[in-house]
Every structure is written in C-alpha cells, then in structure tokens.
Amino acid sequence: MKAGGSLWGSSAAKAESTKTDRTDNWEESKERLGTVFSSMGGVYKGLVSEIGHVIAGQEEVIEQILISVFTKNHALLEGYPGLGKTLVVSTISQVMDLKFRRIQCTPDLMPSDITGTYLVEEDESGKKAFRFEPGPLFTNILLADEINRATPKTQSALLEAMQEKQVTAGNCTYQLDKPFFVLATQNPIEMEGTYPLPEAQIDRFLMKIMVKYPNPKDEEKIVDLYTGGAMPSVHKIVSKEQLLSIQELTRMMPVSNEVKKYALDIVSRTRPDKDGPAKELLDYGASPRASIGLILAGKAKALISGRDYVKKEDIREMAFPILRHRIILNFDSERKGITTDEAIKRILKDA
C-alpha cells in the first residue's frame, strides 16, 4: 500500500471528549493535522501488516519500537542471537522510507568510524584542503548491533548524537538529518569481552525492549517465509514528512493531571528512599528522564490506539520497557533471582 493512500484518507469523526486538560496547541495541531490523527489507527495497522510480510510475530517488540520512533527517542533491544532484532529494525526503516545504516560493534571500532573523519584532498591547482567525510551516524535510523561489544570510548561517541542530534568533529558541528534514531541491540548470553553500557548512556534510551523466542505457530511461519523461492519484501507505508507529522501530534497530545500524577507516582516509587518494594528490592531508582519517557510513551500508545487521551492502562503497560533499564536491583534481590520486571510488577501493584 502506498503512502498517501487510503490510510491517509478523509478525516473521520473526532473521538469522544474526555476529562482531559485540553490546550489550544493541541486543538490547533489536531485541526492542522486532522487527517493524520483520524487515520492513525489505520496507519498503525497498515505498518504492522506490512512489517508482518517479513517478520512473523514479535507484535509487542514492533509496537514498542514504533512508539520509540513516534516519540523521537532511541531504543535498546535485548535478545538471543537469531531472533530477528536486526531484521525488525531494517524492515521498519523500509516501511517508513528512512535512510538506514548498520554498525557492527566490535572492540576495535573507533569513534571516527562512526562519526566520520577529515580527509585531505588536492584540487587541480595542487592546493590541498580538508574535507569532512560523514560516517554512518549521518542517517535516519542507525542500528548499533551488539553495542556492548564496542569500547566505552566508541560508545560515548554516540552520546552527543543521541542527545543533541549533532556531531562535533574538530572545530565544526554538523547537524544530523531529521528524524534520527539509534536502535541498539545487545546479546544477554555472551558477556565475555563486552563492555556494559554505563548508566548515563543507557538512560538515553527510551525503552529496553526484550526480544523473546517466537511461539511454535510464528516459528513455523518464519520457516515458511525463509525457506521458499522468493525472499519476502515490504513497501513504503509512511513517508518521512508524514512521520514528522505523527511525531508532532504525539508530542502535542494533552495528558490529564490524574494520569500525569499516576505516572509520576510510579516513577517515584522506584526510589529506595521511599517505603515500599523499592526499599526492599532496589539500590537505585529511575531518574526524571523516566517520568518524561513514561508520559511520552503513554501518548504514543494512545495515538496508535486511535484515542486523543491517555489512560492509566497505557502508563502501566509502558512502565516495563521504560523502567527495566533504569532501576538497579540490590544484592539480596539478585541473590534471590528476582528480575527487574518482577520488581516493576511489585511497584505497580502498590501504585
């Protein structure tokens, strides 16, 4: 299905009004981007359907990556080898008509291999000059494959790009194209010779998305897809300009004070200085960046569901990928085999 087709058709009736704090900016955005808003439910289904031509199952993973993209944020994917992490990311770039680059992280990868470097060129007159040759960071979607295999020096080269959407080389600063996302993967079983991401960098990722084994039905479909004559392919569904409109609409969606306080309460309960599960299970809780991410993810979840308001259920569902890489278990919890997701469940139960 082509971008600009039926998924972006005439505006439908507005969703029912709810007890939400409306703002003029939201109403202006909805009026200006009314076609995008009214079609979001169909757009999301169209994206998932097209991705499904290449990826069997993994609906939750696809949803969470798209939510990260719609909120202008980065995501960290963790899963065993062979589960399609790289293929999911490259397929999403194709259905959105975005430039895609892949970095295979290794211990000998240097920062300039990512950011770019200056080359000396000589013109016809014999005059020499420096020219900056952009690295793979200059793209829309950057896949940093097995990011924990790169050294801290190379990992830190991504920080400025992730936070400021720019690259500094020498005395010059180069702006990255919009949109820009880093989707990184890491392998949880081969930890020898790896460099775990520092907390300051891992906090830059909106979500930590767990990629699990497919169920038997999906695995059978995978076998059928990749043992036949023709390799599966996808078509563009959303253009870059339409994606930027979706991102704007996501950011402008209002959130009721009740839902906002609920999200803030959940994040606050992850901090061990408060009585409750966090004091028993955790050494460190989530930063205010988690509060921002939880609200943004809730907005995107509402938008892909065709709603113009955020529910508490959206916040609860997004709490796991938002918080699991931002809380640190204490020694006693690790000794008992408690996982971060189990700790989040305990916190949500009390919220």
pLDDT given for residue 30 in this prediction = 58
**Which CATH code for domain 1-10+38-228+240-252?**
3.40.50.300
Least reliable range by pLDDT among 6-15, 89-98, 105-114, 121-130? 6-15
Q: What angle do CA 67, 72, 78 make, to 5 degrees?
A: 55
pLDDT given for residue 192 in this prediction = 64
Residues 134 and 68: their CA atoms lie apart, in Å, by 25
Locate 323 and state its tokens. 């918080």
Cβ–Cβ < 8 Å for 299, 253: yes
Q: Which residues pair with 1 in a beta bridge?
A: none
Query: 10 pLDDT band (50/70/90 cuts)?
Result: very low
Spatial CA neighbour of 87 closest among 75, 100, 97? 100
Query: 151 pLDDT band (50/70/90 cuts)?
Result: confident
Cβ–Cβ < 8 Å for 74, 162: yes
Query: 6 pLDDT band (50/70/90 cuts)?
Result: very low
End-to-end CA distance of the chain: 43
Average pLDDT in the chain:
83
Residues 84 and 148: their CA atoms lie apart, in Å, by 18
Query: 15 pLDDT band (50/70/90 cuts)?
Result: very low
Mean of pLDDT values over 50-72: 89
Q: What percent of the chain has pLDDT over 90?
A: 28
Query: 163 pLDDT band (50/70/90 cuts)?
Result: confident
pLDDT given for residue 131 in this prediction = 81
pLDDT given for residue 177 in this prediction = 87
Mean of pLDDT values over 31-38: 63
Residue in the block written with tokens 């113009």? 308
**Which CATH code for domain 253-351?**
1.10.8.80
Give domain limits for the chain.
1-10+38-228+240-252, 253-351
Query: 133 pLDDT band (50/70/90 cuts)?
Result: confident
pLDDT of residue 261 exceeding 90: yes
Q: What percent of the chain has pLDDT over 70?
A: 88
Locate 109 and state its tokens. 């990868």
Query: 154 pLDDT band (50/70/90 cuts)?
Result: confident
Mean of pLDDT values over 222-242: 83
Query: 35 pLDDT band (50/70/90 cuts)?
Result: low
* Tens digits of residue pLDDT in 303-340: 888 888 899 999 999 999 999 999 999 999 999 999 99
DSSP single-letter state for residue 238: S
Contacts with 300 (C-beta within 8 Å, 6 or more apart), sequence order? 66, 67, 70, 71, 250
Spatial CA neighbour of 174 closest among 182, 166, 162? 166
Mean of pLDDT values over 173-196: 82
pLDDT given for residue 82 in this prediction = 82
Query: 20 pLDDT band (50/70/90 cuts)?
Result: very low
pLDDT of residue 97 exceeding 70: yes
3-class SS of residue 144? strand
Locate 25 and state its tokens. 């900016």
Contacts with 121 (C-beta within 8 Å, 6 or more apart), sequence order? 128, 129, 130, 131
Query: 126 pLDDT band (50/70/90 cuts)?
Result: confident
pLDDT of residue 155 exceeding 80: yes
Spatial CA neighbour of 260 closest among 324, 307, 310, 304? 310
Q: Which residue has the higher pLDDT, 255 or 41?
A: 255
pLDDT given for residue 3 in this prediction = 43
pLDDT of residue 295 exceeding 90: yes
Contacts with 227 (C-beta within 8 Å, 6 or more apart), sequence order? none
pLDDT of residue 22 exceeding 60: no
